[in-house]
């Protein structure tokens, strides 16, 4: 039962254009959402987060949008740079049974072409 879904395994974008990464979730108990970036041979690094009481959070080139009614969030990167090429994970904090834990999607590989 995959509660956090990233339906696009990969995305390719030209440098300077917008990258949009999408994430859907099924658990209405999720209350805090995050995006992580992962380079090969490294652990994930935190990128940006959003509380379930907000619908947008911005940090420099990165903006996360949350649509609670659709159970959907997205990460926008503008403008995209070659150094942004990495795997991006969507994650959500919430209760699954008796556990309050962080649930990850399977990731989207973003390639930004020069």
Partner 1 sequence: KAGVTQTPRYLIKTRGQQVTLSCSPISGHRSVSWYQQTPGQGLQFLFEYFSETQRNKGNFPGRFSGRQFSNSRSEMNVSTLELGDSALYLCASRLGVASYNEQFFGPGTRLTVL
The C-alpha atoms of residue 19 and residue 40 are separated, in whole angstroms, by 20
Q: How many CA atoms lie within 13 A of 111 on its CB side?
A: 6
Q: Does 62 bind partner 1 (CB under 8 A)?
A: no
* Residues ≥6 apart with Cβ < 8 Å to 31: 51, 52, 93, 94
The answer to whether the beta carbons of residues 27 and 96 sit under 8 Å apart is yes
Judged by CB under 8 A, the residue of 12, 46, 59, 67 near partner 1 is: 46
Rounded CA separation 35/91 (Å)? 6
65 in contact with partner 1 (CB under 8 A): no
With CB under 8 A as the contact rule, the residue among 27, 57, 93, 109 that binds partner 1 is 93
Q: Which of 9, 5, 4, 11 is nearest to 77 (CA)?
A: 11
Stretch that binds partner 1, among 19-27, 54-62, 68-76, 96-104 (CB under 8 A): 96-104
Binder of partner 1 out of 25, 35, 88, 89 (CB under 8 A):
89
* 54 near partner 1, rule: CB under 8 A: no
Query: C-beta of 92: minimal distance to partner 1 in Å?
Result: 9
Min. distance of Cβ 33 from partner 1 in angstroms?
9
Give the binding site for partner 1 (CB under 8 A): 31-32, 36, 41-46, 49, 51, 89, 91, 93, 99-107
């Amino acid at each position: 039962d995959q509660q956090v879904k990233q339906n696009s395994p990969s995305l390719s974008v030209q440098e300077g254009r917008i990258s949009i990464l999408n994430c859907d979730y099924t658990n209405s108990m999720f209350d805090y959402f995050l995006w992580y970036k992962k380079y090969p041979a490294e652990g994930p690094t935190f990128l940006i987060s959003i509380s379930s009481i907000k619908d947008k959070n911005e940090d420099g080139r990165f903006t996360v949008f949350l649509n609670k009614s659709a159970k959907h969030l997205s990460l926008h990167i503008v403008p995209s740079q070659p150094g942004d090429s990495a795997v991006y994970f969507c994650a959500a904090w919430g209760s699954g049974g008796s556990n309050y834990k962080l649930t990850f999607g399977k990731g989207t590989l973003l390639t930004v072409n020069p």
